[in-house]
Amino acid sequence: MRNHRQRRLTALATIASLATVSLLATACGSDDKDSESDGKVHITVEGWRPGDEQGTIDAVNKQAEAFMKDNPDIVVKPIEWEWNAETFSTQLAGNQLPTTFRVPFTDTKGLAERQQIADVTEYVNALPYAEDFNPSVLAAAQGTDGKIYGLPTDVYGVGLHYNRDLFEQAGLDPDQPPTTWDEVRQDADKIAEATGKAGYVQMSANNTGGWMLTTLTYALGGRMESEDGATASIDNDATREGLQLLHDMKWDDESMGKNTNFEWGTINEAFAAGKIGMYMSGSDVYNALVTTNQIDPDSYGLAALPLAESGDAGILGGGSVAAVSAKASAEEQEAAVKWNDFYRERKNYDPDAAVADAKVLAETDQPIGTPTLPIFDEETWQKVEDAKAEYVNVPRDQMTSFTEGVFEQTLIPEPASHTQEVYGILDSIVQKVLTDEGADIDALLADGNDQVQALLGS
Amino acid sequence: MSAFLARVRGSGATIAFLLPMLLIFGLFSWWPIVRSVVMSMQQTNLVTPAEFVGLDNFREVLADPLLTTAVQNTVWFAVLALVIGYPVPLMLAVVMSDVRRARGLYSMLAYLPVVIPPAVAVLLWRFFYDAEETGVFNTILGWFGLGPVPWLEDPSWAMPSLVIEATWAAAGGTVIIYLAALVSVPPELYDAAEVDGAGILRKVWHVTLPHLRGIMLITLILQIIGTAQVFLEPYLFTDGGPDNATLTVLLLVYNYAFANTTGGDYGKATALSLMLAAALALLSMVYFRLTRRWSE
């Protein structure tokens, strides 16, 4: 028979145990990684993307073994990892990031300011090519304090990717991709009418909408921010022209298909499945199309992005910085920079390293020879290209429009300040234009400009 | 003294059995709630040290224009889910309870969508909802001469599309609950109604529904609370698009916390979560007070 006293006792005990648990939880902090006791330096590195084929995994593991042979006091463990805007910040907070990882150029300064990535200036300066970086490329890897926070890699310029099969079906010559935006519009219209597939598609979700709108703006001669990142200039003629073009293609020509909600991964997927005639993306996206989406190489073409006549027109350029976690110890930072040099940077500088890397990639059936842009100077770049020419297994002759045209195009860096947040604001402008036929472009741009200016001012 | 000890020993067994549950609840449910309340009054991105800012987070959230959009969309989802999703399990259960043979098979078929992992179901349906004429649903509609529907691409169609999938995914669980309740209706009542000349519909209205009243009131409030917290469908189908037409309150919380690549604003995220929890608690209290006499 429960009486009042017994019930009160149980209640007291419950509260006491709850309090204990809460106290315990406060006391428990996050465990620091135990340093290994075998005297070696252990680092985890970004190895392959989720969904990559076994060949890609084997390739990086082979490289890790070769590196460990040259550096017996370092243990490298490649893991599955992909830069993703949403998971990156939580992994950062939860100490779950690999020791070294790549971040886009746009995030490097912000991360450096918040001391989330390590200052590795001394380790980078110890590399033989430290003096030879193209200064504007190295600037992307430097913080506002001028210190170096990683190695710039995967430098790309945006190009126009097109489906050669759809071009043929529409009666267009796949070796003559469009060279002006008017031609893009006409070709898209022809493809849509002849094949029923989307002639031209542009990303609009997950910050990629803003990224692509900025690209279109640059191609038409405009800018999104002032160079110092203090003033917004969303409301410019080039952006207006670009949005009007998208509006007309979508609603008048109906050449953009019915699906509009694309981001980087899903647009690649749709393109590789033959549902899209043309789209803009980084020049190195062919690698992902092969490893993740199994594209048919014969159907792929890469053209230089059409630019307007204006002298300000150029292509958006970006890349990644191979950065090191700020939680890494000095030895781990040094080891990470050595790994990044071995795995990512050396092959851009040293012809022999490029050949060695190409051999490994060839053995594991990875794409070799996707167009990239120079990180050092054009001469070095050419030497490396020539050295690995015999290993190239991507259809380079289907990309000549890009490889021959890109060096005449000005490379413009992404907006300097609050880049990803600006892209988010632009996303919603692009989505409105593509889903609402009556969207008022002028009002959208004026409002967007206010929002971005408020952001830049904060 | 010994009497006291005797009582403690008796309670000892109780406490020993309660302890594992208390520990787990404490660590995984109550502790995070306490942390959330604390975080809602801080400016923190979990990376740089946190600083106390009092009620600033709540003010910022209330001043955010996206909050209005999110609340409107959430209410719209809840209303659609009530109109489409609430009657469907009820009708299915009533129909299935009449079936004599193979009831087990029908129960299994009804429950199958619940068993499919939600993320898989959503990705599957996203493929079905392809807005081109060649999309699965548009092809089927084409057989009946109905035009291609933009499904997820059009702001006015996006939310109903989400609700249809959500109904399909969740109906099975509620069907099973209703079926169990329906079995408890005495068959004499149906016979009496038939003697009085009642057709199927009147039998349902006058015999079945009154018996289910208690359960229906519970499932109604559970559905409202559940739909107010909808996150998976908007996130996986359209990520709040097109143009924020499917942005719900919980998706806004997620965006506050995780959408900024260099460190989210956990203060605002927890502030909004707390406000949602408070609103739902208030709603539940009002609801139970109003329906007290109905559920007797």
Q: A305 with A448, same domain?
A: yes
**Does some domain include residue A30?**
no
Q: B23 with B79, same domain?
A: no
Q: A333 with A453, same domain?
A: no
In this prediction, what percent of chain B has a pLDDT beyond 90? 39
Mean pLDDT, rounded, for B270-282 = 94
If you measure CA to CA, which chain B residue comes closest to A115?
B48
B153 and A10 within 8 Å at the Cβ level: the answer is: no
**Does some domain include residue A1?**
no
Q: What CATH number did the domain enclosing A145 receive?
A: 3.40.190.10
Mean pLDDT, rounded, for B83-95 = 87
**Does some domain include residue A193?**
yes
**Does some domain include residue B226?**
yes
Q: B23 with B108, same domain?
A: no
Contacts of B239 in chain A (CB under 8 A): 205-206, 261
Report the residue from A14, A87, A110 with minimal CB separation from B22: A14
Q: Which of residues 203-222 of B touch A (CB under 8 A)?
A: none
Residue A189, pLDDT score: 95
Q: Number of structural domains, chain A?
A: 2
pLDDT tens for B17-33 read: 889 998 999 999 999 99
Q: Number of structural domains, chain B?
A: 2
Q: B205 with B265, same domain?
A: yes
Pair type for strands A100-104 and B42-43: unpaired
Q: A329 with A180, same domain?
A: no
Q: A310 with A338, same domain?
A: no
**Does some domain include residue A70?**
yes
Q: A184 with A289, same domain?
A: yes
- The span from the CA of A310 to the CA of A223, in Å, is 12
Q: Which of A86, A88, A251 is the mutation pick for testing B, counting most B CBs within 10 A?
A: A86
Q: Is A432 helix (H, G, I), strand (E, B) or coil?
A: helix
Name the pLDDT band for B218 (thresholds 50, 70, 90).
Answer: confident
Residue A27, pLDDT score: 53
B261 and A420 within 8 Å at the Cβ level: the answer is: yes
Q: A331 with A273, same domain?
A: no
Residue type for B175, please? Answer: V
CA triple B199-B201-B203, angle to 5 deg: 65
**Does some domain include residue B99?**
yes
pLDDT tens for A174-221 read: 999 999 999 999 999 999 999 999 999 999 988 899 999 999 999 999
Residue A33, pLDDT score: 46
Residue A420, pLDDT score: 83
Which helix or strand (DSSP H or E) is residue B286 part of? helix B266-290
Smallest Cα distance from B8 to chain A, Å: 7
If you measure CA to CA, which chain B residue comes closest to A84?
B261
Q: B137 with B190, same domain?
A: yes
Residue B71, token pair as written in the block: 């609340």
A90 and B22 within 8 Å at the Cβ level: the answer is: no
Q: A144 with A276, same domain?
A: no
pTM of the complete model: 0.82
Q: A115 with A172, same domain?
A: no
**Does some domain include residue B198?**
yes
Of the candidate ranges B133-142, B199-208, B213-222, the one whose mean pLDDT is the lowest: B199-208
Neighbours of A225 (CB within 10 A): 22
Residue A24, pLDDT score: 61
Residue A143, pLDDT score: 85
**Does some domain include residue A15?**
no
pLDDT tens for B23-77 read: 999 999 999 999 999 999 988 877 677 888 889 899 999 998 899 999 999 999 9
- The span from the CA of B83 to the CA of A171, in Å, is 50
**Does some domain include residue A309?**
yes
- The span from the CA of B276 to the CA of A444, in Å, is 31
Q: B32 with B63, same domain?
A: no
Residue B271, pLDDT score: 94
Q: Which residues, in sequence order, are bridge partners of residue A153?
A: A320
**Residue B155 at interface with chain A, using a CB cutoff of 8 Å:** yes
Residue A230, pLDDT score: 86
- Tokens 């059409």 found at: A306
pLDDT in tens, chain A (458 residues): 556 766 776 676 667 666 666 666 555 544 444 445 678 899 999 998 887 888 889 889 999 999 999 999 999 999 999 887 677 777 877 778 899 999 988 888 888 887 888 999 999 999 998 888 888 888 888 888 889 999 999 888 999 999 999 999 999 999 999 999 999 999 999 999 999 999 999 999 888 999 999 999 999 999 999 888 889 999 999 999 999 999 999 999 999 998 888 989 899 999 999 999 999 999 989 998 998 899 999 999 999 999 998 888 999 988 999 999 888 899 999 999 999 999 999 888 989 989 988 988 888 888 898 888 888 888 888 899 899 899 999 999 999 999 888 888 888 888 888 888 899 899 999 999 999 899 999 999 999 999 999 888 87
Pair type for strands A300-304 and A150-163: antiparallel
Residue B259, pLDDT score: 77
Residue B290, pLDDT score: 84
Report the residue from A22, A116, A420 with minimal CB separation from B26: A22
Residue type for B11, please? Answer: S
Contacts of A12 in chain B (CB under 8 A): none
* B30: containing domain: 4-10+15-39
Report the residue from B10, B154, B261 with minimal CB separation from A6: B10
Q: B121 with B27, same domain?
A: no
Q: Which residues, in sequence order, are bridge partners of residue A42?
A: A75
Nearest alpha carbon to residue A68 among A254, A339, A259: A339
Residue A4, pLDDT score: 72
- The span from the CA of B27 to the CA of B9, in Å, is 26
A347 touches A126 (CB < 8 A): no
Neighbours of A313 (CB within 10 A): 20
Q: Which of A367, A391, A415 is the last residue of a domain?
A: A391
If you measure CA to CA, which chain A residue comes closest to B129?
A259
Q: B93 with B213, same domain?
A: yes
Q: Which of A391, A426, A446 is the last residue of a domain?
A: A391
Q: A271 with A307, same domain?
A: yes
Q: What CATH number did the domain enclosing B70 receive?
A: 1.10.3720.10
Q: What angle in degrees, to the nearest 10, is found between the helix axes of B118-128 and B155-183?
A: 130
Q: B21 with B80, same domain?
A: no
- The span from the CA of B156 to the CA of B243, in Å, is 11
**Does some domain include residue B162?**
yes
**Does some domain include residue A56?**
yes
Smallest Cα distance from A99 to chain B, Å: 16
Pair type for strands A100-104 and A276-282: unpaired
- The span from the CA of B12 to the CA of A10, in Å, is 9
A89 and B153 within 8 Å at the Cβ level: the answer is: no
A116 and B47 within 8 Å at the Cβ level: the answer is: yes
A409 touches A305 (CB < 8 A): yes
Within 8 A by CB and 6+ apart from A449, the residues are A232, A233, A234, A235
* A116: containing domain: 41-154+319-391
B107 touches B174 (CB < 8 A): no
Q: A450 with A367, same domain?
A: no
Residue A26, pLDDT score: 55
**Does some domain include residue B49?**
no
Report the residue from A9, A111, A258 with minimal CB separation from B262: A111
B261 and A89 within 8 Å at the Cβ level: the answer is: yes
If you measure CA to CA, which chain B residue comes closest to A87?
B258
Residue B16, pLDDT score: 87
**Does some domain include residue B114?**
yes
